[in-house]
Structure formats: C-alpha cells, structure tokens
Structure 1
Amino acid sequence: MAISSVRARTTRLDLSTGTASERADTLAVEEPLQLEVDGEQLTVTMRTPGHDVELALGFLHAEGLLTSADDVVAMRHCTDVGPDGAPTYNLLQIGARPGSRLAGDRVARPFPTTSACGVCGSVSVEDVLSRAPAAPTGTDDVRVRAEVLAALPDALRAAQSTFERTGGLHAAGLFTADGDLLCVREDVGRHNAVDKVVGWALREGRLPLRADVLVVSGRASFELVQKAAMAGVPVLVAVSAPSSLAVSLARGAGMTLLGFVRPPRANVYAGEHRVDVAAGTGVGRPPTSVLT
C-alpha cells in the first residue's frame, strides 16, 4: 500500500517570544522509484509513492518511448524490505512489447532523474517539436472562457488531499474546457505529478488530449511544457511563472500557455486565440514583450 505522508515529531519555535514546544507534524513522503524494462535498469526518480504505474507510463510517453499503453505488456512492483522492516514498493518492473520502441530505443538512453528534474532525453525545443503531435487548428480547436480559467487554481487546490495535510506537494490536474475535473495527481516533483496525469490518460485511451486543459500548481518550466506537448495538451495553466524556454516551446508547439493565473488576473504567453475573454473579467491581452 502506497503511503504518501508520515507523522514526525518536531519542535515549533515562536521566534517572537523565543519559546519552543513539541508537536507532531505531517510530512510528504519522498522515496526512490527504480524503473526496469525487461530486466534492465532504465532510471531512478525520487517521487511520492502512489500511482507509480501512471508515473512510469507518463514518463515513458514524454520521452517518446511509447505511444500506447499496449507497448507495455506487464508492470509489477517488486517488494523489498526497508530499514524499519516494513515492505517497500520502490522497484517497478516493466515488460515491453517485442518490436516496440520501448523494447529497442532505450538501450542507448540513460535517464538520470530526481524529483526536481524532468528533462532527461529531450534536450532541445526542436527535439520535442519533432516528436509532439501537431497542434489542433480550425473550428474544432478548444476555447476556454475566462471565468473557467479564473476558477481552475482553486479547483486544483481543493482536490489536493495530501497537500492539505503536509503543505509539501506539487499537483497537476486535467480539466475539460468547461472546468470539470477529470484527474488530479500529487507528488514532490512537479514533473512527476504531470507524468501521473498523462499516464492516467494513456491508460484511459484519452491521448492525445486535444480538448483538455492541464493545470499545474507551481511554475511552468520547460519540462512541463514538454510533457504537455507530447500528450497533445492544447492549454497549459500555471499558478506561477513560466520560464523563457517554456514560452519558446509553447509557441513552437502551437500551445496556449498561461502563467500567474491568480484571479482576477492572468498572463497569456502563447496561443491567446484559445482564451475567450469577456469584457470586465480582468484577464487582459497577453504580454507582447516576454520573448521576441
């Protein structure tokens, strides 16, 4: 059973009075997860236990090693015993479908990762664009109303059950263009949370995510836009700032990227045509001088 939080004893200091008191606190769990494909180690990432199969599927999809859940014929945890004698579930064994890219292309690709880094095999905007599905165009392209965008951060926050206990996890949520929550996942690594959401969508047969909105609880870095682009996500919403490379990738991929989505305002850095802005909403035109 995956444990996402633990209790720990702490000493609380009151810095204004110089007093101290003991109390229990709840901490987010961070443990390594080793991925093995056909008996060979692929990578080790630090993550919050839970939804490990989705995490693995999302990671492999973002790296272009699988396009369908059918490329994986088996997945199972190999249990071990931790220092405290309790079982751990930190090794995930994956069986690749013979003839799939996962079975062949992984050999020459090392993937050292941590809970803070999601860019492993993809090292350039051009590399991602060459593998990401084409952005939707025309009358079937998704549009999101400003009032829906304004409600998304609070909707994501309300669904973060482990964050409520620990205050120490990132989150990613997949929403419809009308603001209905489809899936939310939490993790110590922001890229892990996105991988878990994409892995869920892969298992559900929903990829590419042409009509949905991905919301992340922190900043929009390159690796998050990478993963969203690979999943076909048209709209990425971040509560905090994007990086310059994230904006470049979003523009190149034809995505809509919003940052600082903190009602009543938001910045649109790319793809403003998908934002349905009504008068008086407080969501203005996107900045034109972010990148040139």
Structure 2
Amino acid sequence: MRLCDLPDPSMTLPPSLVETVARDAVGTRMDTVPEEVPVALSYNGISHAVMLASPADLEDFALGFSLSEGILADASELYELELEISNQGVVVQMRIAQARFAELKNRRRAMAGRTGCGLCGVESLDQVARALAPLSAGPVIAAASLHRALGQLQKKQPLHASTGGVHAAAWADTSGNLLAVREDVGRHNALDKLIGALTKAPYDPACGFALVTSRASFEMVQKAAGVGIPILAAVSAPTGYAIRLAQEVGLTLAGFVRQDRYTVYSTPERIES
C-alpha cells in the first residue's frame, strides 16, 4: 500500500454535530479533531503490538518504536517494511534480522496500546526497566538554545494548530534550530516517530537535544536514553521515576521549559545558563 492511502490525520465535523457552550452561550460551529487508528506492528509475520496512533509518519513510528523498545539495536537490522491498510486500521509488516526476532519471541510481550499508553502489556515488573548503557558526555548547550527551539516549535505543529489535540516531539541542533518535528495523539508515539525520522535522516542523536510538548514520563526518558539522546526537554513536569532513571544513565532532563525559565532535574552540566 502507498502512504497516500492512509486516512487523514484530522477530521472536520460539520456544525450540526458540534455544540459549543461558553458562559451560558450556546452555538454551533465547524470543528476539526485529531484522528487515531489502530496500528499493529508485526515482525516476521507475528503481531507484537497494537497501538492507537495518528495515521501519519507510520514508517518513522515503526522504526522508532523498534529502536526505542530495544527490538532492534540498529536500523540496518530492519530489512523490509510495508504498510497494509484496511478499514480496521494499519498493519506494519516488518522483516527483521533473525537473531533479533529470536530475542523478541523470548520476551513474550504482547501489547494492546491505548492512546498515550506507556507500558501497556508488560507481563511482569522485571520487564519495566531495561538495562541501559550510561550516556556519553554529549554536547553542552546554552539555555538560549532551549528557548530558541521552543519558540520555533509552535509554527511546526500543523496538526496541533488545526485540532489542538496532539503532542509533538522535536529534534534541535546544539544552537536550538529545529531539524525534525513529529506529531501524534500519543506522546510516546510522537517520540518514536521522531526517533525513526532521526535514524532515516540521518542525524546523530548525541549531537543535539529532544523537546517534547508533554510531561517527561519514565518511558520517555527510557526511549531517549536507549537511542543515545543526551538531553530531553519537556514543556511539562517530569515524574519522579523519570528523574531517577535520568540520573542513573546520565541523561540531562529539563522540565517546565518556557521562554523565560526551565528546571533541570539531572546532569545539569550540559546546559549553560
């Protein structure tokens, strides 16, 4: 199937279906809402995960998910990728290296992912935290780079501009210039799409930073660290579990990034104020 066969990532509702209430005033108007579709990720013919995602950049999503979840160690281990689109959703058929497929079967994970779900389908507690190598020293950026990237981000979120209901994950160089942006109804999905896009570009994950429009959860930190991203900045708060993991692997985690402030929760030496 071709990418143009995917449904539109947003849907416009006619005024007859939308009622708006504000301060006792009732009216009707056109409205645009984000779409989400079931996306099944299949490896060597066996379905591994079903996630709800925005129907855009699904090739990036599948590759990024495979890397950030540790299914693949390198993009070269993905041999083929094909989208199968039906009325029920999308199946992403991937053919991967046999050694990786054998490891995947041993993990025995079968996930049914709801929107924004982080650890759906993990079968036991010992599967939550994967072993991650400590990050290298990485770059040192100026605080102005965080603010510069944030200032550019709003103009690079067309789906959010039309619907107001999706997250974005962006990649910036050390000067704060945005090089890639991906959007999705799920914050984890947006980050996976970004990771896939970085791999295909290719950009070196160690030579810049990621900016997300959501809170920084444990899995967001795990995904970033797993592919070698040294700095993760979020416009909202981090969780305590995310902070502990960031400190453990040496990832710089910043939260509450605004044009006039930010808070660093781990490895602050990579950001110069």
Is TM more than 0.5 here? yes
Q: Residue 246 of structure 2 corresponds to which residue in structure 1?
A: 250
Structure 2: 5+ residue stretches without partners: none
Q: How has the CA–CA distance of structure 1 residues 246 and 233 changed in structure 2, closer, same or farther, with 3 Å as cutoff?
A: same
The corresponding residue for 1:281 is none
Counterpart amino acid of 1:249? L
Answer with 1 or 2: which has the greater Rg: 1
Unaligned runs of 5+ in 1: 83-87, 278-292
| CA 1:203–1:133: 2 relative to 1, 3 Å | farther
- Letter matched to residue 80 of structure 2: A
Alignment-derived partner of residue 27 in structure 2: 21
Task: Name the structure 1 match of 2:57.
Answer: 51
Q: Who is 2:166 aligned against?
A: 169
Question: C-alpha displacement at 1:243, in angstroms?
Answer: 0.3
TM-score by length of 2: 0.89
Query: In 2 relative to 1, CA 216–125 (structure 1 residues): closer, same or farther, beyond 3 Å?
Result: farther
SS in 2 for 1:78: strand
Higher helix share: 2
CA distance in structure 2 between the partners assigned to 1:69 and 1:191 by the alignment: 19
Among 79, 87, 94, the residue aligned to 1:73:
79
Q: The residue matched to 2:257 in structure 1 has which SS?
A: strand
Q: Number of aligned residue pairs: give it.
A: 262
Correspondences of 1:73-222 after superposition (within 5 Å)? 73-81=79-87, 90-98=90-98, 100-101=99-100, 103-107=101-105, 108-119=108-119, 127-128=129-130, 130=131, 132-137=132-137, 141-206=138-203, 209-222=205-218
* Residue of 10, 13, 16 corresponding to 1:5: 10
1:133 deviates by: 3.9
- 1:231/1:48 CA distance change after superposition, 3 Å: same
Aligned to 1:282: none
Quote the Cα distance in structure 1 between the aligned partners of 2:146 and 2:109: 38
Q: Distance in 2 between matches of 1:64 and 1:73?
A: 16
Change (3 A) 1:273 1:151: same
Judged with a 3 Å threshold, the aligned counterparts in structure 2 of structure 1 residues 43 and 79 are, in CA distance, closer, same or farther, namely same
CA RMSD of aligned residues (A): 2.0
| Secondary structure class of the residue paired with 2:62 | helix
1:262 aligns to what SS in structure 2? coil
Kept in 1, the 8 Å contact 2:149–2:178? The answer is no
Amino acid at match of 1:134: P
Q: 1-side partners of 2:81 and 2:150: how far apart?
A: 33
Paired AA for residue 275 in structure 1: I
